[in-house]
Amino acid sequence: MLTTVARGSGDLVSVRIMGQHMIILGSLKRAQDLLETRSTIYSSRPAAPMVNDLIGWNWNTSLMPYGDKWRKHRRSFHQFFNSAVCPKYRDVQVRESHEMLGRLLQDPSKFLEHTHYEPMVEAVTPGAFLVDLLPILKYIPTWFPFASFKRKAVIWKQWGLDMRDIPYEETKERFVKGEALPSVASTLIHKVLQDPDQKQADVLARSTAALGYYIIAGTDTITAFTRNFFLAMANNPYVQRKAQEELDAVVGYGRLPEFKDQINLPYVCAIIKEVHRWRPVIPYGFPHMSVSDDEYEGYFIPSGSVIVPNVWSILHNPEVYYEPERFEPDRFIKDGKLDLTGKDPEDVAFGFGRRVCQGRWFANDWLFLIVSHILACFVIEAPRDAEGKPVRLAPEYSSGLVSMADSFECNVRPRSEAMQELILHLQEED
Ligand code: HEM
């Protein structure tokens, strides 16, 4: 029997579900007080038997409990994705973006298909499966009538292992033959082969490389963000026009926006911030877990409590963001410049404290290319109704950890013949 007991109000709510304490943090102050100032206590993850034991994803940093193993994996990932290293990947990201533009040009009606979505996010959503609340369930046999989660787990486990191991093994084979291209995986393999404890080094290397392929941590979030961007542009044509005017003035027509232009494109950057704020892709926060008893402003928080930052309510606080449901990049512009004082949505959308997203620099570069390139090259319009009026798009969202908009229709067309030719030309060059 599932029982829920709730206490507290406003921005700090404590809930008990089947004996499990859960604290929901509804303001930036609460989230920072606990997850950042007291990060030694609040940086673990809740046990997730579906993911860790059944699917066998205990090699994934983002799901590991706080401790030495997590620290080792985080350090290993950090060396390849810290802010100083990420600019090295920009050439590859630019080429990827050119390809994406080419696909959009070829078949604009399939703009959602040019993004990538894996249903596995369902599995990393704590509480999505009863087994996460009742770990004993993991021992029931796969053929048991209600054990569909176990059957899914068998498929996902193999999929996860293939995703981690196949590209790694292929790179290793090429490396041994001296044919591997420079990559995160080949750098790691080079180190493994020199390590006295090759077996252990190999385990860490393949986990880092798998995350490094940004398959798990990255693609769902980037896909969800891109969908929200299309949605915001289709519903707000004046925002789109304003961004395109800025792009035309700063970049001109003969080339695509580049990283060096970013500083002169405050409105385009404000759109990225506003997409993070308006429809955060992890709206109910990535849960943390406390590792010792604590007392906070008169509340006793027992060890093992699940702590959930309510990202949606923080980013929709009308005291910080006027008319929060409105898509309004101008809220981040002051005197023609980007002004994020006390309101940068990325301080919230990428999580908190010691568990803050490790892919944020890589993601930011990627999102800048997606948004600026699409805006420079295409017009995005909502479909029209029988009277010729634009339809207000309002898709449903999935309820997983990463909240993804369901598919929706949009008219996407090149802004001009010149832009069309530029895309084709860039593809020939790459
Ligand atoms: C729109 C893009 C993205 C968003 C909004 C996002 C958001 C997040 C959030 C909220 C967390 C949890 C933070 C916490 O527990 O407080 C996280 C963790 C993580 N992210 Fe991202 N992420 C994005 C893209 C990426 C990409 C592209 C990568 C990889 C290249 C990545 C790698 C990671 C890793 C490794 C963790 C685990 C950190 C840990 O548990 O120690 N993320 N991300």
357 labeled part of a ligand binding site: yes
Q: Is the CB of 286 under 6 A from ligand 1?
A: yes
pLDDT tens readout for residues 75-88: 988 988 899 998 98
Q: Assess: ipTM above 0.90.
A: yes
**How many Cα atoms within 13 Å fall on the side-chain side of residue 167?**
21
Q: Is the CB of 60 under 6 A from ligand 1?
A: no
Asked whether 277 and 315 are in contact (CB, 8 A), the reply is: yes
Helix-then-strand count for the chain, H and E = 15, 11
What is residue 403's predicted lDDT score, i.e. its pLDDT? 92
Q: What is the mean pLDDT of the chain?
A: 87
Give the atom of ligand 1 at the shortest distance from the alpha carbon of 64.
40
Please tell me whether the overall predicted TM-score, pTM, comes out greater than 0.95 for this model: no
CA-nearest residue, atom 29 of ligand 1: 359
The mean pLDDT value for 381-389 works out to 95
pLDDT tens readout for residues 153-178: 777 778 778 877 887 888 888 888 98
Residue 23, beta-bridge partner list: 14, 307
CA-nearest residue, atom 43 of ligand 1: 357
Who wins on pLDDT, 211 or 371?
A: 371
β-strands 333-334, 306-309: how paired? unpaired
Q: Is the CB of 306 under 6 A from ligand 1?
A: no
Those residues with Cβ within 8 angstroms of residue 245's Cβ, 6 or more apart along the chain or in another chain: none
Q: Which amino acid is present at 33?
A: D
Who wins on pLDDT, 20 or 52?
A: 20
| Strand segments (E) across 78-222 | none
β-strands 306-309, 299-301: how paired? unpaired
Domain annotation for the chain: domains and CATH numbers = 1-429 (1.10.630.10)
Q: Is the CB of 46 under 6 A from ligand 1?
A: no
